[in-house]
Amino acid sequence: MNERGLVEVPENAIRDDPIAFGLTAPQLGILGGAVVIGAVLNLLPLPEPIRLVLALLGGGPIVVAAILPVRGEPAYRWLIRAVRHVRNRRCWQATLVVPDKWQLSEAGHTDQGSSRPLQARVAADADPGPALQVADDREIALRTDGTVEAETSATGEASRALERTPMETGAARLRLLRPSGTGSSDPGPAAPSREELERPPAIPHVLSGLRVVAVMSFAGGVGKTTLAVEVATLIASRARYRTIEGDEQPLGVLLLDASRTSPACALRLGLDGEPVSRSRAPRAWTDPGAFEAARETTRWATDLVTLAPHPLVVGRDAADFAARDAQAILDEAQRAGYQLLVADLGTVHEEGQRHLIDQASLVLAVVRPTIESLPDLLRVAEYVRTLAMGRKLAVVGNMADDDATIRRLAAEADVPIVALLPSTPGVVTAGDRGEPAWHTDPAFEQALQPVINAVWPLMAGSRRRSLDPVRGMASAVRRALRHVSGSRS
């Protein structure tokens, strides 16, 4: 119970936990709906064999969609994802080529007898006739009479060159781009730069609290610290949010090194000896000012807080890391304005590490395809489920060039796999230099994207919809009602 007298229930606790017969609440609700449909069809004034067939045809597929597991999830969730994928807005890259008619020169005049492709980015569902933004400050307007009008601008003054040619004489090539979450089909005043196109869209700041992601493994040397550092720094460098006033701000990311037996995040981020020693000083986290004194700023847009070493390491009496200490860190992080906390839990777990797992939205178990590490996947799954947090657990395979064994064990433990990261020499060299590997290795950054999207789902786009079937269906009904009312008006 919190300070307002309300009972705190972990997110998705009721929806995802089995309630009866090994089924969750949504599955039982869907089965109940199938029973109701079958009962209604059975009341029709038809012969009994026909009613039986109609009841089976009406309720049978619903029962199968609710119960049938597909890759560890009920089939109805995959159907919801398929519908959302079909309904997503598509963007296309258009290349308009006007052959042997005219060519726009840099001065804004036309040159006869040659052709030059003009690049434009258009939306598939855009209204006919809008001006299309062109990457080199040109503008193409599609006319309703089947002609193309071209316009150029030079050094801030409106210098125009208009030339028309029948649309059928030109060639148009389209290729599908990834869905864009922001913006409308109307053109902006200027063409976006390449950096703006590659940068993720700004997400409206609608988060009510701190999102906690825990990285854990009971085996050493599997890459927990490396994964935590890579994920935290990449999200801090790329993710943005928009305030209520409309200002665009970088996301606040805090990296918590909770590995008390072998803290290494500070060295992995390239901090000097003095900040490393200062960050490992013993503290009472419930004392005022302890969080500020422990927080270290790095050059990778990520702040770091390191716990004091475990008594097994320093060889002297030291305070245990209790649940109240972990909660004090979370409270101070939220008060300081962070939106994401990535915690490296290490291999030895105290009460505080277990509290972080309890408060986490996602727990990533890191596994390597080695004899020492592979059995750890089953141990981690059993441990997290003992804490009643199994619904949060997912697997990341590190240096998994051969992923057959990891996939088999993940299926045996019934744990989803987020990503399988290949062996990359750049990770080792980046660690020696004290910098993230994604900074210099684009291939590793691309392989890391599934983990990034799992840790911070809003990185995938501001129009990413929730996978909650209840809220998703309610939202679909509301959109349909608005569409019907709009068409009638």
pLDDT tens digits for range 417-460: 999 998 888 888 888 888 899 988 888 999 999 999 999 988 75
Which residue carries 């939205």 as its tokens? 361
pTM summary value? 0.56
pLDDT single digits (tens) 369-406:
888 888 999 999 999 999 988 889 999 999 887 778 89
Same domain, 27 and 63: yes
Assigned domain for 193 exists: yes
**CB 400, CB 420: distance < 8 Å:** yes
Q: In the prediction, which pLDDT does 221 show?
A: 87
Same domain for 344 and 420:
yes
Q: What is the DSSP string of 68-92?
A: -EETTEEHHHHHHHHHHHHHSPPEE
Nearest to 255 by CA among 214, 220, 216: 214
| Confidence bin at 482 (pLDDT 50/70/90) | low
Say how many Å lie between the first and final Cα of the chain, rounded. 49
Does 371 lie in the same domain as 253?
yes
Answer yes or no: is 266 within a domain.
Answer: yes
Question: What SS3 state is found at 343?
Answer: strand
Rg (CA), the chain: 28
**Stretch 94-103: mean pLDDT, rounded?**
48
Listing from the earlier edge strand, what are the strands of the sheet with 118-123?
118-123, 91-97, 171-177
Q: Are residues 297 and 428 part of one domain?
A: yes
Spatial distance between the Cα atoms of 297 and 294, rounded to a whole number of angstroms: 10
Q: Are residues 210 and 146 in the same domain?
A: no
User: Which phi and psi angles does 302 have, rounded to 5°?
Assistant: -125, 130
Over the chain, what is the mean pLDDT? 74
Give the burial string for 204-224 (b: 16+ CB within 10 Å, else e).
eeeeeebbbbbbbbbbeebbb
Place of tokens 């419930």: 286
**Number of domains, the chain:** 3
Q: How far apart are CA 206 and CA 231, in angstroms?
A: 22
Residue 142 tokens read as 């599609």
Q: Are residues 190 and 233 in the same domain?
A: no
What pLDDT is stored for residue 193 in this prediction?
61
Q: How far apart (Å, rounded) are the C-alpha atoms in residues 94 and 140? A: 11
Does 328 fall in a domain? yes
- Span 38-58, mean pLDDT? 86
CATH (domain of 398): 3.40.50.300
Q: Are 185 and 209 in the same domain?
A: no
| Residue 312 tokens, joined | 């097994």
What tokens were used for 6?
């309300």
